[in-house]
Structure 1
């Protein structure tokens, strides 16, 4: 792309440039935005049938389990931030699961591993209890208007009767084998039950009609029996048995003991906007620290605060951010600005729903990597996550593998202004998430972009594969790239499907005076914002 298509930002800021893309979607009665249009329309139908934002969010998440199964599902975890207009406050729901009671680092190292395997022969070690189903039910019971059975019906219909596969999702279903790991299709081929999610024996291509009957039956069982049918019935027995056969520790009691938790959200003020995240064990604190200029410590400190000490208040203090800011110089890249290795790819879905009354739900659902561990529980269509692979084997690290502990997790976001709801948004994509969140909120607060423009804008990613790497959706002005290289950064420009490495976001903003909703959806993905 030539420089003439890139507009320079105001002031001295570098690189938040954008070229005109699709217009933002406007509505007043309700809106849903997510990474697949059929799922977005599912949520909108729920709103039009009298459901509220929470009902719509759960219906959308369930539909994504079917139409984007590499990224999400009942075998994974969920988190939600909810704003109810009559309460005028943000509440946080932690729907992530814990490690098995018997999980321990000694078993991992005795098998010759220096890290928990993400897939392969002993992939069961990476499987923590799937928290999604209980999270959905908890959200619906506390704040929804419809039953879990009602909101699951569209997903069941897609699974049984079929749907056409969209382009980016087809690409993700195939995946790419690399020296460091298997692509999605290859992982599913490792075991016979994986073919339940490869209905023709191979990954579908763009436009194929796919039916997932075993997954449909599982969703129907959950619709009829609620979370108990998942955590205490035949399904839980099947999950536990299969995980143990694959090297893991889960037993039925681990699933039966699972519960979601309501948490106080954490926040920081950014130029008059209060930005909200779920607290650890999610990495949302990293995004808030980034707004304070203190992103570097997330991988060092994020862990399950119910098991180990996480200094949340200290990490979010402006004083601490100042000490971290002092380490940053304008003339050259910081040599080692993070702990750990924020490189692993992630398959996660984000969705947001806002209804006409001003209620909002920001929800994320994840298997972590493509089809998670690659383990598909026989005769259920359930792909099991591999979030447990994010535990550390270092006994001095707060995220050290222990039984009954939640691993490092994913994030979502809301923003309020002067005590009123303003934004429900998120950017999925593993360790790109806090970086993407920072860039989107900066685009809207600092540069006055609307919901769609903030997502269309150029996005950069810092990774530790090559310290100081900066990558972008499309070319910055040449002078910007040259100047960053002079300061020690390595610039790598991505195109085509490589663009998905920059995450996928959705944004819905609400004007409290007019009730007008403004929605945007990630241009690098297949999704949509829809309203009425």
Structure 2
């Protein structure tokens, strides 16, 4: 089963399963296809994380392919993340291709040409735009007009017929097809120190960028143990090396102290408790900065959790940041994609990967079809911040691909996009699924909210007006969005696995073009 944010990407992964590949082969095929059909969301020059159950080893592992701050990063040059929003200076080293190839070489069965073939075909032939793809391109491409050189290269690469694009319009990417074909022949070294890498570096220099070939050559994915916490009879596994997983784990540990299932679903008591726990967990993440596995375990101690539960219960309004060390301007939620895959052998995978903002840095390298990320936009460059980013530091990656087990058997893979909202919206879905017992699809479809700095919350309009009124009375500053479904609140893809029967249940978020293919 493949649950992905676009039907053609889910189809690409399913094709590898039909051809005898396993979940790891299908994951690379899905990821590469998303590069083509969601070019504003993710690509080979982005980065990501994978949380996987390896059936042959009977264990959960995390693959971190989010490279650290580049060695060439000029500390002190920038003092605001807005300076790193777009352009060559915003681009960090690409990790996705390295991660894909590590998954394939370590656990896959198919060759690199096999798994990249669906994406190459999609890029060469083009694909038809859905409503979501049309709307994203028409909304996001004009936002790059203040950077004329970036805008013109992007339009040339993706929009040969100009703007606006229309529903069903065909988007071919022949240069990306050629690049993927070269990678399938030459391997990841083509990017990490090879001709493609040199071409990207040379172009970045013409735009004032500072990345070096040494930055590219140093990229190495890392296999890590997950951060694991118990939650309502499950063991939740998330990346320990990044802040989003820690915040999700802490939120759920706080909420485990409340019998939410006895409350009215989506009522004021339910939502007030969840929102308060989310805001407190975000505060702990920001206070502690980057945490490794040992430090995360310390912060998740019974003493800390008891203190936070007491604060949830005291009824006093909670005011605090959700993004970075000091209040930030509310920005685009980030353009990321997450997908989950299970196979007949028992492997279960959740991957989240991103370009950062829509079309990343906005830099499309001529002749390659490669769009570069803007992950340095998430680096904390505020001079007085205790989390001031330095070369070699882990970037504050908010992704939290999660995998749950029960009695050491995999039962759930769930991930979402959404920048600093990722651990917020995943926690809300977990509560619906675990605490209220909703079927997986209904749990993902349930109304959600995005919390911002201070007390501000944006909520989907399917929450009852009387509930909103009571939440406001309790101190939450809530704006009701004019839609019941918004990407501000993520775009989840998930697979639940019944270990007794082997039956898989897939779910795809209507806030995106999510689609599940079952074989």
TM over 0.5: yes
Q: Deviations over 1:285-325 (max 9, x none)?
A: 111111123512223334375xxx98322222232122222
> Is 1:169 aligned with 2:161?
no
**1:326 aligned partner:** 310
**1:37 aligned partner:** 7
Aligned partners of 1:188, 1:150: CA distance in 2, in Å?
38
Cα deviation for residue 191 of structure 1 reads 4.5
Cα deviation for residue 444 of structure 1 reads 1.2
Cα deviation for residue 398 of structure 1 reads 5.4
Residue 450 (structure 1) aligned to one of 419, 429, 439: 439
Residue 379 (structure 1) aligned to one of 364, 367, 375: 367
TM-score, structure 1 normalization: 0.87
> Is 1:81 aligned with 2:51?
yes
Q: Does the aligned pair in 1 maintain the 2:10–2:517 contact within 8 Å?
A: yes
Aligned partners of 2:376, 2:472: CA distance in 1, in Å?
37
Cα deviation for residue 243 of structure 1 reads 2.4
**1:348 aligned partner:** 336
**2:414 aligned partner:** 425
Q: Does the aligned pair in 2 maintain the 1:450–1:518 contact within 8 Å?
A: no
Q: Does the aligned pair in 2 maintain the 1:36–1:64 contact within 8 Å?
A: yes
Cα deviation for residue 395 of structure 1 reads 5.2
Aligned partners of 1:74, 1:187: CA distance in 2, in Å?
23
Aligned partners of 1:165, 1:36: CA distance in 2, in Å?
11
Change (3 A) 1:84 1:115: closer
Aligned partners of 1:269, 1:196: CA distance in 2, in Å?
47
Pairing of 1:178-257 with structure 2 (within 5 A): 183=143, 190-194=150-154, 195-202=156-163, 204-257=165-218
> Is 1:525 aligned with 2:486?
no
Instruction: Kindly indicate which of the two structures has a greater share of residues assigned to helix.
Output: 2
TM-score, structure 2 normalization: 0.89
Structure 1 gap ranges (5+): 1-30
Cα deviation for residue 442 of structure 1 reads 1.2
**1:7 aligned partner:** none
Change (3 A) 1:497 1:453: closer
Q: Does the aligned pair in 1 maintain the 2:72–2:215 contact within 8 Å?
A: no
Structure 2 gap ranges (5+): 255-279
Aligned partners of 1:196, 1:186: CA distance in 2, in Å?
18
Q: Secondary structure at the match of 1:204?
A: coil
Q: Secondary structure at the match of 1:277?
A: strand
Q: Deviations over 1:323-357 (max 9, x none)?
A: 22223345342122644447432100101110012
Alignment coverage as a number of residue pairs: 487
Q: State the superposition RMSD in angstroms.
A: 2.2
**2:99 aligned partner:** 135
Change (3 A) 1:512 1:157: same
**1:335 aligned partner:** 319
Aligned partners of 2:178, 2:300: CA distance in 1, in Å?
45
Change (3 A) 1:301 1:519: same
Q: Deviations over 1:129-183 (max 9, x none)?
A: 1001110000111111111221000000000111101111221222259xxxx73
**1:506 aligned partner:** 493
Q: Out of 76-85 and 470-479, give the one that drifted further.
A: 470-479
Aligned partners of 2:465, 2:151: CA distance in 1, in Å?
48
Q: Does the aligned pair in 1 maintain the 2:144–2:150 contact within 8 Å?
A: no
Q: Deviations over 1:102-151 (max 9, x none)?
A: 21222335xxxx3362344xx22221110011100001111111112210
Aligned partners of 1:313, 1:323: CA distance in 2, in Å?
16
